[in-house]
Amino acid sequence: MGFGSTLAGFTSEAGTPTLAEPLDPLEPALRKYTNEFWTSRQRQASSIHEISYRACFKPQLPRFFIDLLTKKGDVVYDPFSGRGTTVIEAGLAGRNVIANDANPLSRIMTEPRFFPPDCTAIEKRLLSIPDESSSSDIDLSMFYHPDTEKEIAALRQYLLERHTASRDDMLDRWIAMVATNRLTGHSSGFFSVYTLPPNQAVSQRSQERINTKRNQAPEYRDTHRIILNKTKSLLRSLSPEEEKNLNHAGKNARLLTGDSRATPVIPDDSVQLTVTSPPFLDIVQYNEDNWLRCWFNGLNDKEIGGRITMARTVEAWSGVMGAVFTELYRITRPGGYVVFEVGEVRKRSIRLEEHVVPLGISAGFACECVQINQQSFTKTSNIWGVDNMASGTNTNRIVIFSKNV
Protein backbone atom coordinates (compact mmCIF):
# COMPACT_ATOMS: atom_id res chain seq x y z
CA MET A 1 0.00 0.00 0.00
CA GLY A 2 1.99 2.99 -1.30
CA PHE A 3 0.14 5.84 0.40
CA GLY A 4 -0.06 3.92 3.67
CA SER A 5 3.73 3.77 3.84
CA THR A 6 3.81 7.57 3.48
CA LEU A 7 1.51 7.93 6.48
CA ALA A 8 3.41 5.30 8.46
CA GLY A 9 6.60 7.36 8.18
CA PHE A 10 4.92 10.64 9.16
CA THR A 11 5.86 12.41 12.40
CA SER A 12 3.61 15.13 13.76
CA GLU A 13 4.79 18.64 14.44
CA ALA A 14 4.86 17.74 18.13
CA GLY A 15 7.20 14.82 17.34
CA THR A 16 4.58 12.08 17.71
CA PRO A 17 5.14 9.06 15.43
CA THR A 18 2.21 7.60 13.54
CA LEU A 19 0.38 4.74 15.20
CA ALA A 20 -0.14 1.96 12.65
CA GLU A 21 -2.49 -0.93 13.37
CA PRO A 22 -4.76 -3.31 11.46
CA LEU A 23 -8.20 -1.91 10.70
CA ASP A 24 -9.68 -5.39 11.11
CA PRO A 25 -7.92 -8.42 12.66
CA LEU A 26 -9.31 -10.51 9.81
CA GLU A 27 -7.78 -8.15 7.23
CA PRO A 28 -4.22 -7.49 8.50
CA ALA A 29 -3.12 -5.95 5.19
CA LEU A 30 -5.63 -3.09 5.60
CA ARG A 31 -4.06 -0.63 8.01
CA LYS A 32 -5.26 2.29 10.10
CA TYR A 33 -2.88 5.20 10.72
CA THR A 34 -3.45 7.64 13.58
CA ASN A 35 -1.64 10.91 14.22
CA GLU A 36 -2.07 14.67 14.11
CA PHE A 37 -1.36 15.00 10.40
CA TRP A 38 -2.26 18.67 10.05
CA THR A 39 -2.62 21.50 12.51
CA SER A 40 -3.25 25.22 12.26
CA ARG A 41 0.45 25.80 12.96
CA GLN A 42 1.69 23.66 10.07
CA ARG A 43 0.17 25.97 7.44
CA GLN A 44 -2.19 28.80 8.18
CA ALA A 45 -5.26 28.52 5.98
CA SER A 46 -5.93 31.31 3.50
CA SER A 47 -8.30 34.05 4.60
CA ILE A 48 -10.36 33.41 1.44
CA HIS A 49 -11.82 30.34 3.19
CA GLU A 50 -13.45 32.30 6.01
CA ILE A 51 -17.01 31.67 4.89
CA SER A 52 -19.25 29.99 7.45
CA TYR A 53 -21.05 26.78 6.57
CA ARG A 54 -22.30 23.88 8.65
CA ALA A 55 -20.30 20.63 8.78
CA CYS A 56 -17.28 21.80 6.78
CA PHE A 57 -13.74 20.53 7.27
CA LYS A 58 -10.59 22.61 7.67
CA PRO A 59 -8.72 23.60 4.49
CA GLN A 60 -5.60 21.85 5.82
CA LEU A 61 -7.35 18.51 5.23
CA PRO A 62 -7.71 18.73 1.43
CA ARG A 63 -4.35 20.53 1.13
CA PHE A 64 -2.58 17.59 2.80
CA PHE A 65 -3.80 15.27 0.05
CA ILE A 66 -3.55 17.79 -2.79
CA ASP A 67 0.14 18.26 -2.05
CA LEU A 68 0.85 14.53 -1.78
CA LEU A 69 -1.33 13.08 -4.53
CA THR A 70 -1.56 15.69 -7.31
CA LYS A 71 0.56 18.03 -9.38
CA LYS A 72 -0.21 21.39 -10.97
CA GLY A 73 -2.87 21.13 -13.65
CA ASP A 74 -4.44 17.94 -12.25
CA VAL A 75 -8.20 17.87 -11.71
CA VAL A 76 -9.46 17.87 -8.10
CA TYR A 77 -13.14 17.12 -7.46
CA ASP A 78 -15.63 17.33 -4.59
CA PRO A 79 -19.07 15.75 -5.15
CA PHE A 80 -20.44 17.22 -1.87
CA SER A 81 -18.81 20.61 -2.16
CA GLY A 82 -20.59 22.63 0.54
CA ARG A 83 -18.83 25.97 0.97
CA GLY A 84 -16.19 24.89 -1.57
CA THR A 85 -13.25 24.19 0.75
CA THR A 86 -11.71 21.45 -1.41
CA VAL A 87 -11.93 23.25 -4.74
CA ILE A 88 -10.88 26.66 -3.38
CA GLU A 89 -7.84 25.04 -1.77
CA ALA A 90 -7.10 23.18 -5.01
CA GLY A 91 -7.39 26.44 -6.93
CA LEU A 92 -4.96 28.15 -4.57
CA ALA A 93 -2.52 25.30 -5.25
CA GLY A 94 -2.75 25.66 -9.03
CA ARG A 95 -4.99 22.67 -9.74
CA ASN A 96 -8.06 22.51 -11.99
CA VAL A 97 -11.34 21.92 -10.23
CA ILE A 98 -14.79 20.37 -10.46
CA ALA A 99 -17.38 20.82 -7.71
CA ASN A 100 -20.88 19.44 -7.29
CA ASP A 101 -23.54 19.90 -4.64
CA ALA A 102 -27.30 19.31 -4.48
CA ASN A 103 -27.70 22.74 -2.87
CA PRO A 104 -27.38 25.73 -5.25
CA LEU A 105 -26.09 27.78 -2.31
CA SER A 106 -22.82 25.92 -2.77
CA ARG A 107 -22.11 27.58 -6.09
CA ILE A 108 -23.21 30.97 -4.72
CA MET A 109 -20.64 30.63 -1.92
CA THR A 110 -17.86 29.17 -4.08
CA GLU A 111 -17.73 30.74 -7.55
CA PRO A 112 -17.02 34.40 -6.60
CA ARG A 113 -13.96 33.44 -4.55
CA PHE A 114 -12.18 32.27 -7.70
CA PHE A 115 -12.33 35.89 -8.83
CA PRO A 116 -11.20 38.04 -5.89
CA PRO A 117 -12.31 41.63 -6.53
CA ASP A 118 -10.64 44.97 -5.98
CA CYS A 119 -12.01 46.48 -2.77
CA THR A 120 -12.40 49.87 -4.44
CA ALA A 121 -14.61 48.27 -7.11
CA ILE A 122 -16.76 46.62 -4.42
CA GLU A 123 -17.13 49.93 -2.58
CA LYS A 124 -18.13 51.71 -5.80
CA ARG A 125 -20.69 49.02 -6.64
CA LEU A 126 -22.18 49.16 -3.15
CA LEU A 127 -22.60 52.92 -3.47
CA SER A 128 -24.63 52.36 -6.64
CA ILE A 129 -27.07 49.97 -4.93
CA PRO A 130 -30.13 51.52 -3.24
CA ASP A 131 -30.03 51.02 0.50
CA GLU A 132 -33.73 51.43 1.13
CA SER A 133 -36.72 49.50 -0.09
CA SER A 134 -40.08 48.37 1.12
CA SER A 135 -39.84 45.89 3.98
CA SER A 136 -39.08 42.24 3.28
CA ASP A 137 -41.81 39.81 2.28
CA ILE A 138 -41.35 37.77 5.48
CA ASP A 139 -41.20 38.87 9.12
CA LEU A 140 -37.55 39.39 10.06
CA SER A 141 -38.08 41.94 12.81
CA MET A 142 -36.68 39.58 15.44
CA PHE A 143 -33.33 39.54 13.61
CA TYR A 144 -32.93 43.06 12.24
CA HIS A 145 -33.44 46.71 13.10
CA PRO A 146 -36.09 48.19 10.74
CA ASP A 147 -33.48 50.26 8.88
CA THR A 148 -31.17 47.26 8.53
CA GLU A 149 -34.08 45.18 7.23
CA LYS A 150 -34.81 47.81 4.58
CA GLU A 151 -31.19 47.72 3.42
CA ILE A 152 -31.25 43.91 3.21
CA ALA A 153 -34.53 43.95 1.29
CA ALA A 154 -33.15 46.55 -1.14
CA LEU A 155 -29.95 44.59 -1.69
CA ARG A 156 -31.91 41.38 -2.21
CA GLN A 157 -34.19 43.05 -4.74
CA TYR A 158 -31.25 44.49 -6.65
CA LEU A 159 -29.36 41.19 -6.78
CA LEU A 160 -32.39 39.10 -7.77
CA GLU A 161 -33.38 41.54 -10.51
CA ARG A 162 -29.84 41.55 -11.90
CA HIS A 163 -29.67 37.76 -11.79
CA THR A 164 -33.09 37.24 -13.37
CA ALA A 165 -32.12 39.57 -16.23
CA SER A 166 -28.74 37.79 -16.61
CA ARG A 167 -27.02 41.10 -15.92
CA ASP A 168 -25.23 40.15 -12.72
CA ASP A 169 -21.45 40.20 -12.98
CA MET A 170 -18.81 38.81 -10.65
CA LEU A 171 -18.89 41.92 -8.45
CA ASP A 172 -22.62 41.35 -7.88
CA ARG A 173 -21.98 37.68 -7.16
CA TRP A 174 -19.22 38.53 -4.70
CA ILE A 175 -21.54 40.94 -2.87
CA ALA A 176 -24.29 38.29 -2.83
CA MET A 177 -21.85 35.73 -1.41
CA VAL A 178 -20.61 38.01 1.34
CA ALA A 179 -24.10 39.25 2.25
CA THR A 180 -25.37 35.66 2.37
CA ASN A 181 -22.72 34.90 4.96
CA ARG A 182 -23.35 38.05 7.01
CA LEU A 183 -27.10 37.56 7.46
CA THR A 184 -26.96 36.23 11.01
CA GLY A 185 -24.27 35.72 13.62
CA HIS A 186 -23.13 36.47 17.13
CA SER A 187 -21.08 39.66 16.72
CA SER A 188 -21.37 43.18 15.33
CA GLY A 189 -19.78 41.93 12.11
CA PHE A 190 -23.15 40.48 11.08
CA PHE A 191 -26.38 42.15 10.02
CA SER A 192 -28.41 40.61 12.84
CA VAL A 193 -28.83 40.94 16.56
CA TYR A 194 -26.96 38.31 18.60
CA THR A 195 -27.96 34.80 17.56
CA LEU A 196 -26.37 31.39 17.01
CA PRO A 197 -23.02 31.05 15.19
CA PRO A 198 -23.34 32.01 11.52
CA ASN A 199 -23.28 28.52 10.07
CA GLN A 200 -26.96 28.06 10.86
CA ALA A 201 -30.05 30.27 11.10
CA VAL A 202 -32.59 29.66 13.84
CA SER A 203 -36.30 30.02 13.18
CA GLN A 204 -38.13 33.30 13.78
CA ARG A 205 -39.77 31.89 16.90
CA SER A 206 -36.46 30.61 18.27
CA GLN A 207 -34.87 34.02 17.73
CA GLU A 208 -37.72 35.67 19.62
CA ARG A 209 -36.94 33.37 22.54
CA ILE A 210 -33.24 34.28 22.35
CA ASN A 211 -34.13 37.98 22.36
CA THR A 212 -36.37 37.57 25.38
CA LYS A 213 -33.81 35.52 27.29
CA ARG A 214 -31.04 38.03 26.56
CA ASN A 215 -33.31 41.06 26.93
CA GLN A 216 -32.06 42.34 23.59
CA ALA A 217 -33.48 44.18 20.60
CA PRO A 218 -31.92 44.46 17.13
CA GLU A 219 -29.62 47.44 16.70
CA TYR A 220 -28.95 49.18 13.38
CA ARG A 221 -26.15 47.63 11.33
CA ASP A 222 -24.67 49.30 8.24
CA THR A 223 -24.93 46.43 5.77
CA HIS A 224 -22.78 48.02 3.05
CA ARG A 225 -19.99 48.75 5.53
CA ILE A 226 -20.14 45.19 6.87
CA ILE A 227 -19.92 43.76 3.35
CA LEU A 228 -16.90 45.93 2.54
CA ASN A 229 -15.14 45.04 5.81
CA LYS A 230 -15.72 41.33 5.27
CA THR A 231 -14.43 41.66 1.71
CA LYS A 232 -11.19 43.18 2.99
CA SER A 233 -10.90 40.40 5.57
CA LEU A 234 -11.39 37.63 2.98
CA LEU A 235 -8.70 39.12 0.75
CA ARG A 236 -6.18 40.06 3.41
CA SER A 237 -3.78 37.09 3.04
CA LEU A 238 -4.02 36.41 -0.71
CA SER A 239 -0.74 36.59 -2.57
CA PRO A 240 -0.56 37.67 -6.24
CA GLU A 241 0.32 34.08 -7.20
CA GLU A 242 -2.64 32.66 -5.29
CA GLU A 243 -4.97 35.17 -6.91
CA LYS A 244 -3.60 34.23 -10.32
CA ASN A 245 -4.08 30.53 -9.54
CA LEU A 246 -7.65 31.10 -8.38
CA ASN A 247 -8.49 33.07 -11.55
CA HIS A 248 -7.09 30.30 -13.74
CA ALA A 249 -8.97 27.58 -11.84
CA GLY A 250 -12.20 29.61 -11.91
CA LYS A 251 -12.07 30.14 -15.67
CA ASN A 252 -11.76 26.39 -16.22
CA ALA A 253 -13.95 25.25 -13.31
CA ARG A 254 -17.03 23.10 -13.60
CA LEU A 255 -19.38 24.04 -10.77
CA LEU A 256 -22.31 21.65 -10.88
CA THR A 257 -25.60 21.56 -8.99
CA GLY A 258 -27.13 18.11 -8.91
CA ASP A 259 -27.02 14.51 -7.76
CA SER A 260 -23.49 13.21 -7.23
CA ARG A 261 -24.65 9.74 -8.29
CA ALA A 262 -25.04 10.97 -11.88
CA THR A 263 -22.60 13.54 -13.28
CA PRO A 264 -22.54 12.83 -17.03
CA VAL A 265 -20.79 16.11 -17.88
CA ILE A 266 -17.65 14.88 -16.10
CA PRO A 267 -15.62 12.78 -18.59
CA ASP A 268 -14.50 9.22 -17.86
CA ASP A 269 -11.03 8.84 -16.32
CA SER A 270 -10.54 12.60 -15.88
CA VAL A 271 -10.20 13.24 -12.12
CA GLN A 272 -6.89 12.73 -10.34
CA LEU A 273 -8.15 13.32 -6.80
CA THR A 274 -11.51 13.49 -5.07
CA VAL A 275 -11.58 14.90 -1.54
CA THR A 276 -15.02 15.01 0.03
CA SER A 277 -17.14 14.69 3.15
CA PRO A 278 -20.67 13.42 2.44
CA PRO A 279 -23.87 14.22 4.32
CA PHE A 280 -24.02 12.09 7.45
CA LEU A 281 -26.89 10.32 9.15
CA ASP A 282 -29.55 13.05 9.60
CA ILE A 283 -27.26 15.04 11.90
CA VAL A 284 -27.19 18.32 9.99
CA GLN A 285 -30.53 19.73 8.83
CA TYR A 286 -29.25 21.62 5.81
CA ASN A 287 -32.57 23.15 4.78
CA GLU A 288 -33.41 24.29 8.32
CA ASP A 289 -29.94 25.79 8.79
CA ASN A 290 -30.07 27.59 5.45
CA TRP A 291 -33.67 28.83 5.20
CA LEU A 292 -32.68 32.50 5.55
CA ARG A 293 -29.82 32.19 3.07
CA CYS A 294 -32.18 30.56 0.62
CA TRP A 295 -34.73 33.35 1.07
CA PHE A 296 -32.12 36.02 0.43
CA ASN A 297 -31.07 34.29 -2.81
CA GLY A 298 -34.60 33.57 -4.03
CA LEU A 299 -34.31 29.82 -3.47
CA ASN A 300 -36.87 27.33 -2.14
CA ASP A 301 -35.31 25.83 0.99
CA LYS A 302 -37.87 23.02 1.30
CA GLU A 303 -37.38 21.92 -2.29
CA ILE A 304 -33.60 21.96 -1.85
CA GLY A 305 -33.82 20.08 1.44
CA GLY A 306 -35.74 17.31 -0.28
CA ARG A 307 -32.85 16.77 -2.69
CA ILE A 308 -30.18 16.42 -0.02
CA THR A 309 -29.36 12.97 1.32
CA MET A 310 -30.55 12.75 4.93
CA ALA A 311 -30.57 9.00 5.48
CA ARG A 312 -31.68 7.85 8.92
CA THR A 313 -30.13 4.38 8.78
CA VAL A 314 -26.69 3.11 7.84
CA GLU A 315 -28.31 0.83 5.28
CA ALA A 316 -30.06 3.70 3.48
CA TRP A 317 -26.94 5.88 3.65
CA SER A 318 -24.80 3.06 2.29
CA GLY A 319 -27.20 2.52 -0.60
CA VAL A 320 -26.78 6.13 -1.69
CA MET A 321 -23.02 6.20 -1.16
CA GLY A 322 -22.58 2.94 -3.05
CA ALA A 323 -24.00 4.63 -6.14
CA VAL A 324 -21.74 7.64 -5.53
CA PHE A 325 -18.69 5.37 -5.48
CA THR A 326 -19.73 3.76 -8.74
CA GLU A 327 -19.81 7.20 -10.35
CA LEU A 328 -16.51 8.18 -8.73
CA TYR A 329 -14.88 5.08 -10.17
CA ARG A 330 -16.03 6.06 -13.65
CA ILE A 331 -14.59 9.56 -13.50
CA THR A 332 -11.35 8.77 -11.59
CA ARG A 333 -8.39 8.25 -13.86
CA PRO A 334 -6.10 5.23 -13.44
CA GLY A 335 -3.60 6.08 -10.74
CA GLY A 336 -6.05 8.53 -9.17
CA TYR A 337 -7.37 8.67 -5.62
CA VAL A 338 -10.57 9.18 -3.63
CA VAL A 339 -10.30 10.61 -0.11
CA PHE A 340 -13.57 10.08 1.77
CA GLU A 341 -13.88 11.83 5.14
CA VAL A 342 -16.67 10.45 7.31
CA GLY A 343 -16.06 11.94 10.74
CA GLU A 344 -17.77 10.36 13.72
CA VAL A 345 -21.52 10.17 14.21
CA ARG A 346 -23.87 9.45 17.08
CA LYS A 347 -21.20 9.72 19.79
CA ARG A 348 -18.93 7.17 18.10
CA SER A 349 -21.56 4.44 18.21
CA ILE A 350 -21.32 4.25 14.41
CA ARG A 351 -17.98 4.37 12.62
CA LEU A 352 -18.88 5.01 9.03
CA GLU A 353 -15.40 4.18 7.73
CA GLU A 354 -16.15 0.53 8.43
CA HIS A 355 -19.11 0.78 6.04
CA VAL A 356 -17.30 2.92 3.46
CA VAL A 357 -14.42 0.49 2.86
CA PRO A 358 -16.57 -2.26 1.28
CA LEU A 359 -18.53 0.32 -0.75
CA GLY A 360 -15.38 1.60 -2.42
CA ILE A 361 -13.98 -1.88 -3.01
CA SER A 362 -17.27 -3.02 -4.50
CA ALA A 363 -17.13 -0.11 -6.96
CA GLY A 364 -13.69 -1.26 -8.14
CA PHE A 365 -11.29 0.80 -6.03
CA ALA A 366 -8.43 -0.54 -3.94
CA CYS A 367 -8.52 0.61 -0.32
CA GLU A 368 -5.15 2.11 0.53
CA CYS A 369 -5.80 2.66 4.24
CA VAL A 370 -7.86 4.46 6.85
CA GLN A 371 -6.36 7.64 8.24
CA ILE A 372 -7.36 9.04 11.63
CA ASN A 373 -6.38 12.66 12.14
CA GLN A 374 -6.58 13.22 15.89
CA GLN A 375 -6.72 16.76 17.24
CA SER A 376 -7.56 18.67 20.40
CA PHE A 377 -10.83 20.50 20.77
CA THR A 378 -11.15 23.94 19.18
CA LYS A 379 -12.90 27.12 20.23
CA THR A 380 -15.75 26.21 17.88
CA SER A 381 -16.26 22.92 19.71
CA ASN A 382 -16.65 24.76 22.99
CA ILE A 383 -19.40 26.95 21.53
CA TRP A 384 -21.49 23.82 21.25
CA GLY A 385 -20.86 22.77 24.85
CA VAL A 386 -18.32 20.07 24.05
CA ASP A 387 -16.24 19.47 27.13
CA ASN A 388 -14.72 16.00 26.84
CA MET A 389 -13.12 13.79 24.23
CA ALA A 390 -16.01 11.32 24.15
CA SER A 391 -18.84 13.66 23.28
CA GLY A 392 -17.47 15.76 20.42
CA THR A 393 -15.98 15.43 16.97
CA ASN A 394 -12.27 15.56 17.69
CA THR A 395 -11.05 13.41 14.80
CA ASN A 396 -11.25 13.20 11.05
CA ARG A 397 -11.82 9.61 9.97
CA ILE A 398 -10.76 9.25 6.36
CA VAL A 399 -10.80 6.32 3.96
CA ILE A 400 -8.32 6.54 1.07
CA PHE A 401 -8.93 4.63 -2.16
CA SER A 402 -6.94 4.32 -5.36
CA LYS A 403 -7.81 3.26 -8.89
CA ASN A 404 -5.38 0.78 -10.33
CA VAL A 405 -3.40 1.77 -13.40
List pLDDT tens digits, range 269-301.
Answer: 999 999 999 987 655 566 677 899 999 999 998
Which of the two residues, 94 and 28, has the higher pLDDT score?
A: 94
- Alpha carbon of 144 to those of 135, 175, 273: distances in Å? 11, 19, 43
Cα–Cα distance, 396 to 14 (Å, whole number): 18
Range(s) for CATH 3.40.50.150 in the chain?
Answer: 2-106+240-285+309-402
Which of the two residues, 193 and 351, has the higher pLDDT score?
A: 193
Q: What region, left, alpha or beta, does residue 63 occupy, with left being phi > 0 and alpha being psi -120 to 50 degrees? A: alpha
350 burial (CB, 10 Å; 0-12 / 13-18 / 19+) is middle
21-30, 155-164, 270-279, 314-323: range with lowest mean pLDDT: 21-30
Q: What pLDDT does 390 receive?
A: 42
Cα–Cα distance, 70 to 332 (Å, whole number): 13
pTM of the complete model beyond 0.75: yes
Cα–Cα distance, 60 to 47 (Å, whole number): 13
Q: What pLDDT does 281 receive?
A: 62
Q: Which of 55, 69, 101 is nearest to 341 (CA)?
A: 55
Query: What is the CATH superfamily name and number for domain 2-106+240-285+309-402?
Result: Vaccinia Virus protein VP39 (3.40.50.150)
Taking residue 215's Cβ as centre, other Cβ atoms within 10 Å add up to: 6
